[in-house]
Chains A and B, each alone.
Chain A
Amino acid sequence: MLLRHTPKEIADRKALMINPAKTCQPIGAMYASLGIKGCLPHSHGSQGCCAYHRSTLTRHYKEPISAATSSFTEGASVFGGQANLIQAINNIFTVYEPEVIAVHTTCLSETIGDDLPQIFHKANKEKKIPEGKTVFGAPTPSYVGSHVTGFSNMVKAMAALAEPQEKKNGKINIIPGWVEPSDMAELKRLADLIGIDITMFPDTSGVLNGALTGEYSMFPDAGTPIEDIKASGGAIGTLALGEWCSADGARLLDTKCKVPCSVLDMPFGLNATDRFIDALRTLAGTTVPDEVASERGRLVDFISDMHQWLYGKKVALVGDPDQLIAMTEFLVSIDMCPVHVVTGTPGKKFEKRIKELTAGMDCEVNVKAKGDMFLLHQWIKNDPVDLIIGNTYCKYIARDEDLPFVRWGFPILDRQGHQHFPTVGYMGGLRLLEKITDALLDRKDRDDTPSKFELVL
């Protein structure tokens, strides 16, 4: 047993978190920043954070993750990090020549109260920001919320760059939330298929799933151009995918630039994708081509083909709120039973949504926001499941409890594919189902006695 100290009896813990189902804000901000074209994320704190965040993202993507840091020393921690940040801005523009520097903070700079806008103003006054280059930022205190909050805060700071426009440009903004580069590419493909002109930010497709060519550019020709983000104030509407990741940015565009927004669930699975496509169509006033309907039909077909293997199977889920909400709905819609759902990210709304989505099931559902994976494991010990879906850290639970396991979410440190193949949209739904049925049927093949072992399933 790897997790041999996890007891079945659940004692209430108020202070000790064990095996978190979340991490801290700045990594989310760093990921979001990488979705801007020519942008170097910058971590305003001591350099350990930046090293950890880069390493984690790199392990997940198997791609270079560039980000700079203010490298606080003890002196800066006492007297403030202004000098460090201004030096850093100068060094970055001189050496690495990005178009944009997107600064986020850490618990260190937040605790001492460094004021980013004031520092940017000073850097500007001292001519440290070259003509035509952008430096902006977001406060991302690690002691509030989670990595999801950090993503959202950076997206909100992007939205704040937008200016109200005299004339609407006819485009639609999509804020995709914390999904994979492959998912962002899929969302663009769908919009393109329907013939809609969109601005999507952030957009990490092409940035974090790049080619091997023998040439390396720190800033690939991908990501959302900062001009497009600034012009997003002229859009006819914004679709924010995921309340936790995208709503703040979309609402800011609404209040600041009068771009009406709808907050939708992330388009994982059948119904959430339906609502996304429908919202897109309504907003743009176009019709959905048959091709999209046929993709949808293939997903429905797959569900019907495989339904007997899915029906009634109990699932434990862990991850981030927006993703889990959509996944829970999807599982319920195909007659699976998500019985344990944990996120580390705070938000009372989460528990309420999961309760609503699972209300029709005839089994008890455990759900917790601000939970951890130690608790999830204890729930599983008390009420076993047929499948666990979550990030790589689930493999320890899966091994101890001998559970089929589908890797989904962040971080995935021990497999590849997530950066290349989407799980959003109808095609992504097909891939999710393929993964789920593979895991379940591989287990059946492993467990069946020789006389029960079958060729055709």
Chain B
Amino acid sequence: MGRTEKMVQWEPNDIKGKLLEKYPPKVARKRAKQIMINEALENTTPEITANVRTIPGIITMRGCTYAGCKGVIMGPTSDIINLVHGPVGCSFYAWLTRRNQHDAGEKGEDNYIPYSFTTDMQDSDIIFGGEKKLEAAIQEAYDTFHPKGIAVFATCPVGLIGDDIHAVAKKMKEKFGDCNVFAFSCEGYKGVSQSAGHHIANNQVFTHLVGTSENEKTDKYKINLLGEYNIGGDGFEIDRVLKKCGITNIATFSGNSTYDQFASANQADLSCVMCHRSINYVADMLETKYGIPWIKINFIGAKATAKSLRKIAQYFGDQELIDKVEEVIAEEMPAVKAAQESVLPRTEGKTAMIFVGGSRAHHYQELFEEMGMKTLSAGYEFGHRDDYEGRHVIPNLKVDADSRNIEEIEVEADPELYNPRKTAAEIEALEKAGLKFKEYEGLNPAMDEGTLVIDDLNQYEAEKLVELLKPDLFCAGIKEKYSIQKLGVPMKQLHSYDSGGPYAGFVGAVNFYNEIDRLVSSKIWSYMKAPWQKNPELSATYVWE
């Protein structure tokens, strides 16, 4: 394992130059704006270009709007039938491939997660339109399953041929009376990435589901957990910790979630945002319409988890809760500390690179820090500038032509249900005490000076980075995993967790320490050359020697 080769000290500028040197001039100019050398300045960070169209042919890691809408936000919900209106592929590829775990109980509660539903459009549907088939499919789904809700998702051709899926959904909803049918115009070509799909999903969930529950939630310390998808059971672990503290999670958007959770989200007293990118729209709308403030939290990393729990307790301000939270942290931390100490000798000083969707590239740096590992380079597939630089840049963000047609919905305070949970004075007092509302500082400030922040990293740059900087660990997704490992560098998937997890909360931290220890300490990486390749010279020895 060429540990000694790692003495090469590249200057960040040289690395950036190396990444760009092979590109055609136009591509190089564009990529130069998306590769940023972090200056980690106090209160100001350098500007990065993000959320812009992908360069054709560059081998991006990105997916599409449908993936962001159906695959990410709506997929994890168990008791809504997700019906994909399109040719078979989109439904097939999003069938059980994201590890949003669900506990459907043994009592036979509705659970449609193991199913894939599609209208399987044929050429005749493209020619004559697919509305009739969609209507028939909704009817067949209703007749077979009698679900609470049916969500319809558009795919690329639907928008082109002009099928009005919203009209069909409305008609069927009225016809059934006891099944909410609603639709998402999340055609794959919209926007520039999964991100547009998040926005579309947020809008429709908010419009069609939130605030419709008949069940009154009367528990103490009610929160929503926004932007947590229960990958590998992350949400289970977070729920365990919350429950232990006496905090009630009304609705998770959308890991291990149900129709009723979405519908009750307006009854929480605080929204806690985990993945800012995918769900900040709902967080804002919950505040505007119902008066529920939101804070940014992070349950990735033991320290971050403790900090987030304290924030929640601080918000409610009840001594009983504040004490309970401290008690839980004190109970959970020894196991974490023990695991940390056991791996530190092998992880300390090691280096990582993290390129994941729209939030984990930031969150996971907390875990690596706890293991004494340094993040050399990080970036998002589809983050926006606010995810890199912090929310204070939002007022100067320009929506470009590619994203202009993503619907922005206007919500107003609900005439009946609007109820500001804190007065302006209370909010101000909390802000003074250090609790920030509607605030996310982004990834850049969390990273060291001279590190590289790269947006929409592609295959070529990933290989180049590994070749130049020789990290001990590279984190990205399934499409990158095996090319990086072929280079002899251990690779950790931070989308699917390589079938592992949970990595959130206290138990998750311990899992992660051990998993990374396994990866960076593995013997495998020493087997890449056969003995005769290491020493090709012939050196005869005699039997009697």
Contact = CB atoms under 8 A, between A and B. Distances in A.
A96 B115 CA distance: 39
Contacts of A46: 64, 156, 188-189
A368 to B, nearest CB: 14
A404 to B, nearest CB: 20
Given A22-B88, A48-B63, A111-B160, A143 B56 contact: no
B468 interface: no
B501 to A, nearest CB: 16
A62 B482 contact: yes
Contacts of A25: 89
Contact of A210 (B61, B190, B479, B486): B486
Contact of B56 (A77, A87, A212): A87
The listed residue with most A CB atoms (<10 A of its CB), out of B94, B125, B157, B528, is B157
A69 B93 contact: no
B207 to A, nearest CB: 22
- Give chain B's interface residue range (CB within 8 Å of chain A): 35 or more
B123 A143 contact: yes
A91 B56 contact: yes
A144 B121 CA distance: 8
A5 B56 contact: no
Interface string A15-47: 111111011111100000000000000100111
A228 to B, nearest CB: 26
B203 interface: no
A433 B92 CA distance: 30
B407 to A, nearest CB: 13
Nearest to B155: A107
A94 B58 CA distance: 10
Given A20-B116, A146-B88, A91 B64 contact: no
A392 B93 CA distance: 13
B462 to A, nearest CB: 11
B93 A20 contact: no
Nearest to B483: A64
B141 interface: yes
Contacts of B49: none
B415 to A, nearest CB: 36
A14 interface: yes
Interface stretch (A213-221, A291-299, A439-447): A213-221
A25 B482 CA distance: 24
Contacts of B156: 45-46, 77, 106-108, 111
B177 interface: no
A64 B61 CA distance: 13
Contact of A17 (B27, B118, B481): B118
A23 B57 contact: no
Interface in A97-123: 106-108, 111-112
Interface string B21-43: 01110010000000000000000
A216 B483 contact: yes
Contacts of A47: 54, 60, 62-64
Interface in A61-76: 62-76
Interface string B470-488: 0000000111011111111
B63 A396 contact: no
A371 B478 CA distance: 30
The listed residue with most A CB atoms (<10 A of its CB), out of B64, B123, B191, B401, is B64
A51 B479 contact: yes
Given A17-B119, A96-B59, A107-B155, A73 B402 contact: yes
Contact of A143 (B94, B110, B121, B402): B121
B204 interface: no
Interface in B49-102: 53-67, 83, 86-97
A189 to B, nearest CB: 23
B89 A142 contact: yes
A48 B104 CA distance: 30
A70 B56 contact: yes
A249 interface: no
Contacts of A287: none
Contacts, number: 264
B487 A215 contact: yes
Interface string B117-133: 11111110110000001
A215 B122 CA distance: 44
A237 interface: no
A211 to B, nearest CB: 8
B263 interface: no
A214 B155 CA distance: 40
A420 interface: no
B108 interface: yes
A393 B96 CA distance: 9
A66 B59 contact: yes
Contacts of A95: 22-23, 27, 57-58, 460
A84 interface: yes
A344 interface: yes
B114 A70 contact: no
A16 B59 contact: no
A112 B405 CA distance: 19
B460 A23 contact: no
B399 interface: no
B56 A88 contact: yes
The listed residue with most A CB atoms (<10 A of its CB), out of B60, B125, B144, B485, is B144
A18 B147 CA distance: 15
A59 interface: yes
Contact of A4 (B87, B90, B111, B135): B111
A71 B60 contact: yes
A94 B22 contact: yes
Contacts of A2: 111, 114
A162 B443 CA distance: 53
Nearest to A73: B402
B529 interface: yes
A302 interface: no
A456 interface: no
A4 B108 contact: yes
The listed residue with most B CB atoms (<10 A of its CB), out of A7, A45, A73, A141, is A73
| 5 closest cross-chain pairs (CB), A and B | A48-B64, A88-B57, A24-B89, A15-B136, A88-B56
Given A52-B90, A55-B97, 20 more contacts: A3-B114, A14-B136, A14-B140, A16-B117, A20-B92, A47-B54, A49-B188, A53-B93, A59-B97, A67-B59, A71-B56, A71-B60, A76-B189, A107-B155, A108-B156, A108-B157, A111-B157, A144-B122, A212-B488, A216-B487
20 contacts: A4-B104, A4-B111, A5-B144, A15-B135, A20-B118, A51-B61, A51-B64, A52-B90, A53-B93, A58-B481, A69-B57, A74-B405, A87-B56, A87-B57, A90-B24, A94-B24, A107-B155, A107-B157, A143-B121, A216-B484
Interface of B: 22-24, 27, 53-67, 83, 86-97, 104, 108, 110-112, 114-123, 125-126, 133-137, 139-141, 143-145, 155-157, 159-161, 187-192, 401-402, 405, 459-460, 463, 477-479, 481-488, 527-529
